[in-house]
Structure 1
Amino acid sequence: MKRAYNFNAGPAALPLEVLQKAQEEWLDFNGTGMNVMELSHRSKDYEMVHNKAIALLRKLLNISDEYEILFLQGGASTQFSMIPMNLLLEGKVGHYVLTGSWSEKALKEAKKVGQTSVLATGKDNNYTTIPTLDKVELDSDAAYLHITSNNTIFGTQWQSFPEVNGAPLIADMSSDIMCKPFDVNKFGMIYAGAQKNLGPSGVTLVIIRKDLIGQAPESVPTMLDYKTHSGNNSLYNTPPTLAIYLLSLVLEHVDSLGGVEAVEKINAEKAKLLYDVIDGSNGFYNGHATPDSRSTMNVTFTLQSDEATKAFLAQAKEQGFVGLAGHRSVGGCRASIYNAVPLEHVQALAEFMKSFQKNY
């Protein structure tokens, strides 16, 4: 069997070693005679999986005991609503930095809950760059500042995070969490859908500072209150057990590679391969993002015409490359090179890009 060159934006590639490990344990996990998804979520066998995932996250991301780690459902999109419902209290303002469609959607949901403000935006330049924010001083009525760390559609990424005074910094890290080291202590909350770098779709990771839990008004539904989940180790209701099991295997894999620092080096090498082809193509390929805002996870580019783009995607498909079409809102092409995409697959794509340019 030949594995596809998988450049899907999400759900995305998973490490081969993780899939093989899951295959080995598929019919009999830990001597139970059952698959993980057949276990009771109250059983000791599943509890071991659940708590191991939490412990590995603390180790790999250096998360202190000041933070709760939650496994929730509903994707990052549900967090767009949960955050303001829990934190955007009456008389407070939720501040947002717009860097793409996902931050726009987060703002849209917050507006339904309370007062909001756009602190900075890259919309005027078609989201080709991340706004420059080094130090942010927020007024006393600020509830939080929300950013999106990486933008899958436009291929931009925060290269460093701002220092924020006056309110907690909250980040949607769905598409680049664990791609490089960062200081969790800069944030009040971090959240991420798992289906890019952490595992399969179905589980959403929330890392939230404990002092931000328990602020939700009584009107907030039980399942949308962070206190419900923090008080029950994310086991208030049945969690997505199979997704959390696979997430734990991904974390084990990253740990075996040498942690997030080792992964960062591989990711930098992969991204450089593709950006070097784009920059060396004399305009045949054009990157969407400005060089100082380029993402190491989503490489977005256009060709000189729609005809050339269609030919590129058709030939790429014939060669076994999957998921290279750009998002429908911007067109062009996109190579999502998340942690689990092997270096060899990116090397193959770079060679294909050079060959296509030469022969077109």
Structure 2
Amino acid sequence: MGGAAGVVAALLLVAGCSSPEDGEGGDRTASAPPPSSAAPTGSADPGTVRVAGTLTENLKSPWGLAELPGGDLLVSSRDERTVTRVDGRTGRQTPLGEVPGVVPEGEGGLLGLAFRDGWVYAYLTAASDNRIVRMRYGGGAGDRLGAPEPVLTGIPKGFVHNGGRIAFGPDGMLYAGTGETGRTGLAQDRGSLGGKILRMTPEGRPAPGNPFPGSPVYSYGHRNVQGLAWDADGRLWASEFGQNTWDELNLVEPGRNYGWPVVEGAAGRAGYTDPVAQWPTSEASPSGIAYARGAIWMAALRGERLWRIPLSGAERSGDPTAFLKGEYGRLRTVLATAGGTRLWLVTSETDTRGTPGPGDDRILRLEVGPEGS
């Protein structure tokens, strides 16, 4: 991708900033970003995705989403500190309780969720750090969450850039995307858990085969990882907030350095891994991602649209395409069902940065067809 020199020059001017955010990506100036040749915003092919309806609504600051066996959903509220079960057919909401120890502030709070073998895993902001905990949950009528047990503690916290997405990979390991909390140097410090993608066992130990022995660090040089997903070949993809110039979609490989704060976007510099796709910050502020029908689907906050990035192996097979532009406001989380023909899409208008209307926030049901359908 072009524009490497401009990217580096712009980054060197702003890398030290830590002012309050304009939009979700943070530390951005009011000037318009440069145009992107990598991500045109032309009209989307309406045949590849359609909104089949609203599953549920009136959610408050929804953030994490996990699917239970049988198709029901768990959704976290960042600011209310609660987990709610949502019936996957009727949308009926059943509160499962408040998670103790959560301290919501800024971008922190009760964030990502995952479910595995009777445990609900949660990434949360506590008084002293970000951490991952797990809670027993039987899944039956009337069941409530058990007491949280620590899985991994000591992830740096901040008012901004707390990361928060967690997911189990096809290898059975637990992955987490973290942020550098506005302290840019943490991203390059392999001894810190900030600005990283982490890989661990379900109990929180560094996973076998990690690139740095004895450490959960899987990749580094990240600013604020927000989405994790695996394609049909088991490759890990991650979405990441840029600063003033480029937001990114990265193909993540163990031990790689993804550049922040030395580079933002594609720079072609030795020792740093370039993104597979990048966007001007006004068009993305990417949050959750999912893989379905040969493409990565990426929810955009500031950009208020759903991006589709077609893949062929480890490469893009075409330009990203935007859907739902401005139709539902800020989009936080996207989750593919097991069959891969449906997406759940969570809006994010009640997180203090949106403009909530009647019914916000909601979970939308999207039907995904093959390209050209």
Normalising by the smaller structure, the TM-score range is under 0.3
Higher helix share: 1
Query: Normalization by structure 1: what TM-score?
Result: 0.26
Whose strand fraction is larger, Structure 1's or Structure 2's? 2
